[in-house]
A and B are shown apart, each in its own frame.
Chain A
Amino acid sequence: MVGTSERLPELMYNLKLHNGKTLLFETSEKVFIPTGTTTLLLDSVREQIGSRGSILDIGCGIGVVGIALAAYGLATSLSASDISHEAVVLTEHNAVSNGCEVTARHSNLFEAWLDTAFDYIVDDVSGVAEGIAAVSGWFKNTSCESGYDGSLLTKNVIRQSHKHLRSGGRLFFPVISLSNETEIIAEARRCFEKVSLLKQKAWPLPDDLKPHLALLDRMRNEGVISYEEKFGTHIWTTSIYMAHN
């Protein structure tokens, strides 16, 4: 994780960076609240980016990943987009309040970036199986149209990314084991020559999913999701991948 993060009162989100800086983000009940996956993604990208470059934060939410990468001095330019209008407005606001420049656009995946290419694309679109997302607390007032197995949006980003990456560019994407990881990685390997796992983190099943174990069991038996019962709890994972040619 990139330092520590915590939710503050009045819908503020606090992110402590490794360089000692703290970034404050305004958020809203209507947008996705950053999770451990967000910070794991940020940490992985920060460690991998060897030289500064243009960054697209796709599925930016309130802008945490992109703005933090800019705060680390890794962005020659920062672009960000989200399907939520409110998220885009908050990203613009948070960029200004954290002293960073951003081109933020409302966009369904790459629709607003048709003729633009980047050195780094960081994908954080919804990637949880829809049935699970619906009963989880992660998407209370936000959309998660990621398909039955949760792979739809991530696979679309992977498929379209090569058109939006400059030569030598890299795509970073998280895969949650509460989605069809096998399908997503197979798609990445079809589209890119190199796909590597950067980081993986285990999480206990959140309380709001525990009453829905029958659903989770069924989806696991179908091969749609994966989790394990170990150490007296149910464990699922976030894996961060990098893809490039």
Chain B
Amino acid sequence: MNNKIKKQSIIDGEKLSGEFYFQSLLQEAYVKGVLSPKESERIQLECLKLLADSTERFTRGQSSSIRVEIAQGIMASNLFTIGIYLKSLPDLDTAIFHIQNEPLEKLYEYGLAVLKRKINVAHYFYNRVCKSKLKTANQAYNITIDQGFKPFFESYEINFHAHEIPSDIDYQLIHPVTDLAGVEFVIKYLENLYYENLFCSYFDADTIHEVMSGYDPSYKYLLDNICAQVLQNALGCQLLSAPPDRLDFSPADLNALDKKLKNHSQAELQTQLETAVRELVTDLKLTNRSLKKYLLTSLTKITPTVFQGLTIHSLNKVFVPRYNPNIKPIIHYNMGIKMDDNAYRDMITEFLSCRFFEDKLAIIKEQIKTLADMEDLLIAGELESTEATMIFGLLEDIELAVLTKRHPLHPAIDAIDFSASEIRMQQNLDAYLRTLPRARLAEILSMATTIEVV
């Protein structure tokens, strides 16, 4: 039996804010009549006195006044520190007792001591995270662990900015940390990250790389969570009664999963996934109870994803098949040798001076011998979309596949990385490809994935 007898309190702990704990506790206590107006006034006056003392320390006694926003920051820091201490007490009644019977200055001092201890806890979790770090190409993950916490450990300041989080955290967790601030946020984030690392450590790093490449070949630039995808795939394997460390699905596997899961409601699906998590924990011999709890609570995020995948028939996006991006492409395409610079310059000048498209076409047919030159011309030729369409029409599928591979259209990114003429060419190519029959387009795109331009 896990049920513990919990002392009832007039104040509802659920209603309290994690970030502004002290303030919310005061408010609740005042509303519920636990704190009298007189006590409330005393606390406010003591808060001001504490702020005045902190301000004096902040200005080193050299200035009697400070800017309001700085004072607000110091006040928030003071209240956060007191809140940290009150949170460390066994229950809410004890916290209220301390508020009523101890001067705020004392609570603040106790809070500082707790903060110092918490920084050590953050160090502990950071070391665990570093030790269990996954070998992955994901930049957000690597940068967050390698550099993201440096500012925190170097410049976290508990006297005046205890509630701030001086860190660069980009990597997203399955359970994002909310409603916490300062060192508490960092501890919770690192703790969650450690559990995710721990889970991933049960799988081969190369396998995880292949899973993530299956999810998106450019996953290293994405801010998506790795552990969630690994867990999803492991659960999929578990549901198929396959070894969980395989993390791979054939089309037949996906069909089998679809059949197995499709007629269930979301609640039934949740139950089924819970069973799968428990089996997974047993199969992988996971002993860490916190990790087990972490995985089980992750289902609140995973179940809707699986349910959605079943509804829109895209289970292959949920249980992603592995893909090895290092497998060498089958087709090697040589773009040919570019013409001499002077000859090219003369040709492009003549091309640009042509009034009619027929003349331009004649130049192309006469002088362009390789795809390398054609590519240059398509970029520099200042072609209108109709002209570009006609030129693309002259190309074979393999040539279009090469151009598609070399000039994919990603409007949001390319606007910065490419010149205007390159973007125009990409847009023209994209527009042309859209006009092609589906089957031909699919063939070109599949060719583009297996082609290597030499």
Q: Do A and B come from one complex?
A: no
Query: Footprint of B on A, CB under 8 Å?
Result: none
